[in-house]
């Protein structure tokens, strides 16, 4: 009983009412002392995966930049029994042994201490910092996997009522009732899938001719010279040949609502190679479907979200 009460008290120290988190997104919780929102990712990831996920959610990989933030992070670990610790946003991936947070705050200005025997830079290959529940730090290999916390500072960002997000690049398409965002900085299909999910949506799914026209018009707004990707002639969308048997389904596991392929497509280039084959879906600039390499080269992509996907359920 005492242990449960202690956990409850610790939780109250950093949580305010869930209602306050509605100003950002439903899966983040606001804390007054740190003037920002917090979210724990229990599923472990590499440091770079953690950084990218937090960034895609509109936040940063959390670091204990001050005493208040350190207390919140320790409390989250304690209440969730994360005894091994969590990745912090403090790293030296840009220059060996030059540690800063992802916001650029140098380690010397961050109120943490090293765990016994740390840092040891084991095998000269440890450039990320792990925060333990007792508040001490240890250097670890960035490719190892640990849970992590994302933090969004309250900067008076205004949530768009039409799309329910602070991301101003999303817009509501009246013809479909969905919100869309064109990512002109290319990624692989799997990276794009993660980015859209983190933004509260999914890779865009074309449900019919009207939506196909809307997607085609959106793509046309970005000429090839404005796109930062290897491929500029097609855009990744939310469908793939999951089983590699020419059965194309959406990322929601449904059959294609729009199934108009371009000439000679799908051609399954290098189909003899299960790794390099074109198993992911997209659209050519002229509005017809294309089978594309999932992870070989980067392409632009389009995310789709419902206006209420980041809002709490009523």
In tens, the pLDDT along 70-92 reads 999 999 999 999 999 999 999 99
pLDDT digit string, tens, across residues 158-180 = 788 899 999 999 999 999 999 99
Domain match, 16 and 73 both: yes
Domain match, 14 and 130 both: yes
Smallest CA-to-CA distance from 241 within 274, 206, 209 is with 274
pLDDT at residue number 78: 97
pLDDT at residue number 160: 81
pLDDT at residue number 171: 97
Taking CA atoms, 145 is separated from 52, 102, 130, 166, 181, in Å, by: 14, 18, 10, 29, 30
Q: Is residue 164 part of a domain?
A: no
DSSP one-letter code for 225: G
pLDDT at residue number 267: 76
User: Dihedrals φ, ψ of 234, to 5°?
Assistant: -135, 165
pLDDT at residue number 269: 52
pLDDT at residue number 158: 73
Smallest CA-to-CA distance from 236 within 168, 284, 179, 170 is with 284
CATH of the domain at 139: 3.10.100.10
Q: Is residue 165 part of a domain?
A: no
Domain match, 99 and 131 both: yes
Domain match, 148 and 52 both: yes
Domain match, 186 and 272 both: yes
Q: Is residue 16 part of a domain?
A: yes
Q: Is residue 312 part of a domain?
A: no
Domain match, 116 and 242 both: no
User: Dihedrals φ, ψ of 232, to 5°?
Assistant: -125, 0
Domain that holds residue 269: 171-305
3-class DSSP assignment, residue 14: helix
Query: Low-confidence residues of the chain, pLDDT below 70?
Result: 1-22, 268-276, 314
* Among candidate residues 153, 184, 206, the one where a domain is terminated: 153
CB 184 within 8 A of CB 83: no
Q: Is residue 166 part of a domain?
A: no
Total number of domains constituting the chain: 2
Domain match, 11 and 142 both: yes
């Amino acid at each position: 009983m005492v242990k449960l009460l202690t956990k409850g008290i610790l939780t109250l120290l950093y949580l305010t009412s869930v209602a306050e988190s509605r100003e950002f997104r439903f899966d983040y919780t606001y804390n007054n002392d740190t003037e920002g929102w917090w979210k724990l990712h229990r599923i472990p990831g590499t440091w770079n995966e953690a950084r990218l996920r937090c960034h895609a959610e509109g936040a940063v990989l959390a670091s204990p930049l001050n005493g208040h933030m350190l207390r919140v992070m320790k409390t989250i670990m304690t209440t969730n029994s994360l005894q091994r610790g969590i990745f912090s946003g403090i790293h030296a991936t840009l220059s060996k042994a030059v540690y800063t947070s992802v916001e650029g705050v140098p380690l010397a200005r961050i109120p943490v201490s090293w765990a016994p025997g740390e840092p040891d830079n084991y095998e000269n290959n440890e450039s990320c910092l792990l925060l333990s529940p007792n508040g001490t730090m240890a250097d670890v290999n960035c490719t190892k996997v640990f849970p992590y916390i994302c933090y969004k500072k309250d900067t008076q960002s205004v949530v768009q009522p039409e799309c329910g997000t602070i991301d101003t690049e999303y817009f509501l398409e009246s013809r479909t009732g969905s919100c869309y965002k064109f990512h002109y900085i290319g990624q692989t299909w799997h990276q794009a899938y993660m980015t859209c999910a983190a933004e509260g949506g999914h890779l865009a799914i074309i449900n019919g001719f009207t939506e196909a026209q809307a997607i085609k018009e959106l793509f046309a707004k970005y000429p090839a010279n404005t796109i930062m990707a290897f491929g500029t002639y097609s855009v990744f969308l939310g469908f793939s040949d999951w089983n590699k048997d020419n059965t194309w389904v959406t990322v929601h596991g449904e059959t294609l609502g729009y199934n108009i392929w371009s000439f000679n497509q799908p051609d399954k280039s290098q189909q003899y190679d299960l790794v390099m084959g074109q198993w992911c879906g997209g659209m050519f600039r002229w509005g017809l479907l294309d089978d594309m390499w999932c992870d070989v080269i980067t392409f632009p992509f389009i995310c789709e979200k419902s206006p209420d996907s980041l809002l709490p359920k009523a």
